[in-house]
């Protein structure tokens, strides 16, 4: 009898995934902000444009007044909230030393592919030090709903990059969006 119950639950679980996969999802970006909180950043700007339905072009630029300190960190935060939920959930919360990321992570195959892909759309440095008086930019980085699995739940999300040095916030980049049903 127990195996019948387990089998029924497995079938229902698979059926639920099949039904979710047939539902079309779309990603919508609501807002992008980049805020400089110290004199380290001479100038910065960011925007996101909708190219077609579910396809966006991301642009960001910044110029430093002095070389980025070797002790600078980046905190990567991805939070989400279900549309009818009240609780915000931290999905990703990483804090990494920027120079360590640029030096060591390119040896990881998946990260190397991401950095190579990013280098097609930007002139961001792939090694330390990050120089002053040079305009770094990301131009028309394409973000589309093809990167999300079709069974992704409907959520409101927030992607944040916080740049800090010795626990002092230098710069913050914030991208807000939603996954909605078509």
The residue to which tokens 């089998």 are assigned: 7
The closest alpha carbon to 25, from 163, 139, 155, 126, belongs to 155
Domains of the chain: 28-181 (2.70.220)
**% the chain with pLDDT above 90:** 53
- What mean pLDDT is reported for the chain? 85
> Which pLDDT does position 171 carry in this prediction?
95
* Residue 56 near residue 68 (C-beta atoms within 8 A): no
Which phi and psi angles does 122 have, rounded to 5°? Answer: -150, 170
Q: Is residue 21 scored above 70 in pLDDT?
A: no
* pLDDT 10s digits, 47-101: 999 999 889 999 999 999 999 999 999 999 999 999 888 899 999 999 999 998 8
Q: Is residue 16 scored above 80 in pLDDT?
A: no
How far, in Å, CA of 55 to CA of 18, rounded?
Answer: 25
* pLDDT 10s digits, 131-154: 999 999 999 988 887 777 777 889
- 10/99: higher pLDDT: 99
- 109/71: higher pLDDT: 71
Q: pTM of the full predicted structure?
A: 0.80
Q: What would the DSSP string read from start to end of the chain?
A: -HHHHHHHHHHHHHHHHHHHHHS-EEEEEEEEEEEE-STTEEEEEEEEEEEETTEEEEEEEEEESSPPPTTEEEEEEEEEE-TT----EEEEEEEEEHHHHHHHGGGSHHHHHHHHHHHTTB---SSS---SS-EEEEEEEEEEGGGS-TTPPPEEEEEEEEEEETTEEEEEEEEEEEEEE-
> Which pLDDT does position 182 carry in this prediction?
79
* pLDDT 10s digits, 156-177: 999 999 999 999 999 999 999 9
**% the chain with pLDDT above 70:** 85
> Which pLDDT does position 23 carry in this prediction?
65
The closest alpha carbon to 162, from 180, 153, 174, belongs to 174
């Amino acid at each position: 009898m127990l195996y019948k119950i387990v089998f029924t639950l497995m079938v229902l679980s698979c059926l639920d995934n099949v039904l979710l996969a047939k539902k079309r999802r779309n990603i919508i970006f609501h807002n992008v902000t980049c805020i400089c909180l110290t004199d380290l950043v001479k100038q910065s700007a960011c925007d996101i444009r909708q190219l077609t339905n579910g396809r966006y072009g991301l642009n960001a630029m910044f110029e430093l007044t002095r070389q980025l300190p070797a002790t600078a960190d980046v905190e990567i935060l991805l939070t989400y909230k279900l549309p009818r939920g009240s609780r915000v959930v931290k999905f990703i919360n990483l804090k990494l030393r920027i120079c360590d990321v640029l030096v060591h992570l390119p040896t990881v195959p998946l990260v190397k592919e991401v950095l190579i892909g990013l280098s097609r759309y930007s002139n961001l440095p792939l090694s330390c030090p990050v120089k002053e008086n040079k305009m770094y930019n990301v131009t028309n980085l394409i973000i589309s709903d093809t990167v999300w699995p079709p069974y992704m739940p409907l959520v409101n999300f927030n992607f944040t990059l916080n740049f800090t040095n010795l626990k002092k916030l230098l710069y913050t980049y914030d991208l807000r969006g939603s996954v909605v049903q078509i």
